[in-house]
Amino acid sequence: MSRKEHADIAAGRLSSGQLARNFDDVAPPLDRQSALIAAQRCYYCYDAPCIQACPTGIDIPSFIRRITTDNLRGAALDILGANVLGGMCARVCPTEILCEGSCVRNTAESQPVQIGALQRYATDWVFETDTTLFERAPATGKRVAVVGAGPAGLSCAHALARAGHEVVIFDARPKPGGLNEYGIAEYKVLEFAAREIAWLLSLGGMRWEGQRVLGENLDLAELRRDYDAVFLGLGLGGVNALGIAGETLAGVRNAVDFIAELRQCDDFAQLPVGRRVVVIGGGNTAIDAAVQSKKLGAESVTLVYRRGSASMSATWAEQEFAKTQGVAVIEWAQPRRILGEGAVSAIEFEYTQLDETGRLLGSGDYFTLAADSVLKAIGQSLLAPRADGDGSNLIETRNGRIVVNAEFETSVPGVWAGGDCVGGKVDLTVQAVEDGKRAARSIHARLLSNGKSEN
């Protein structure tokens, strides 16, 4: 029995009008007056802690000061010069634990400056006015292949194109954007990802090729031969399995696939959703899947996590948002088996606890939740590029990530990597952008000094 044949998973649970309201912008943009008021709350700190908290090092006090004088071009240059995907990051960054969390006005008596909203205000102006902020340097005659059109790859490609290199971007998907296009909740980004990428590519010097998969119809040895350098922004394409009975039943699927299907759907009224949805996991993907299931019309949505809320990778703000949207959260429980004949009907959990060493253990106490849809969001893994030819293109990995040096170069000469596939402080869009930017800086320096990266 397929998912679509599962009777309890159906489309059209809500009217088109209700769906449109449910998926409207979750954080409407500031207007000019509210932006000016918000900007005037900034102290313009010297050695501002908000800058230190931003992985891309945006000069936050500078761009906010420019907003107060209506210098939106200058504000946008401050932002996009440091983070070319600053428009998307203004929408999806967990500012509560980054810049706003470090704001000196973030106290028990005061709210932080609305840095994320002000960043969106400044960058939205660029896309609304179709403003050109950057120009390419004179052509260098060098060619770079970027594999992966997610935040890391796009950031790297744009920086290299600005430096005068020719860049070809390859991606396994039919559209560029990676996580931003396929993996983030619709109510956070609406159709912005495609607009931002169109603006980024308009710089020139970049060519995009979709449905090119490394190890299948894209060969690393050939890329090293034909290009002066290669950057891998592969992300984490694998999905972890629960490893329990019933995982193959109809109605059980990966949360990332559910979110991708929703993001590419033109009519949410045609998108099937269960009546009783159970989401397993505690990260942003789990939150996005749970909230969007509720917005599609699920009668009950329960998110279950094996530890407590403090251990969830989703921030406290995301967790609270999910609860306000009607998502029930159960902590300290792990799935043991999925029940049903042909299709899921329930899922059995065991309550968990920590022993004296802090190790997670089952308690022997079980409970069952009725479910017609189970969405798995327990983490993603690297699909490591396969070796080819004589094995000289075998890239070293460790703990499920590509190993890189301080310059983001891999074990294979002339091949760099960045973003989630290498890991780092945080697996966030903003960190991936910074990785791509730093790798581009390293690639550019190598090309200028050697003429071609050694391979």
Condensed to tens digits (0 to 9), the pLDDT of residues 103-146 reads 999 999 999 999 999 999 999 999 999 888 999 999 999 999 99
Give me the residue spans of the domains in the chain.
Answer: 32-129, 143-237+382-450, 241-380
Q: Do the two domains 32-129 and 143-237+382-450 of this chain adopt the same fold?
A: no
CA distance 186 to 290: 12
Return the exposure string of 195-223: e unless at least 16 CB atoms fall within 10 Å of the residue's CB, then b. Answer: bbbebbbebebbebeeebebeeebbbeeb
Dump pLDDT digits (tens) for 271-322. Answer: 999 999 999 999 999 999 999 999 999 999 999 999 999 999 999 999 999 9
Q: Determine the 3-state secondary structure of 61 from DSSP.
A: helix
Kindly report, residue by residue over 202-231, the tens digit of the pLDDT: 999 999 999 999 988 999 999 999 999 999
CATH architecture of the domain with residue range 241-380: 3-Layer(bba) Sandwich (3.50)
Average pLDDT, the chain: 94
Q: Which residues contact 310 (CB under 8 A, 6 or more apart)?
A: none
pTM exceeds cut of 0.85: yes
Give the total residue count for the chain: 455
Can you tell me the mean pLDDT for 157-171?
Answer: 98
What percentage of the chain carries pLDDT values higher than 70? 96
Calculate Rg over the CA atoms of the chain. 23
Fold of 143-237+382-450: FAD/NAD(P)-binding domain (3.50.50)
Q: Is the pLDDT of residue 5 over 70?
A: no
Query: Looking at domain 32-129, does it have CATH number 3.30.750.24?
Result: no
The burial of 405, by beta-carbon neighbours within 10 Å (0-12 exposed, 13-18 middle, 19 or more buried), is given as: exposed
Q: How is residue 442 written in tokens?
A: 């390293």
What is the arithmetic mean of pLDDT over 339-357?
96
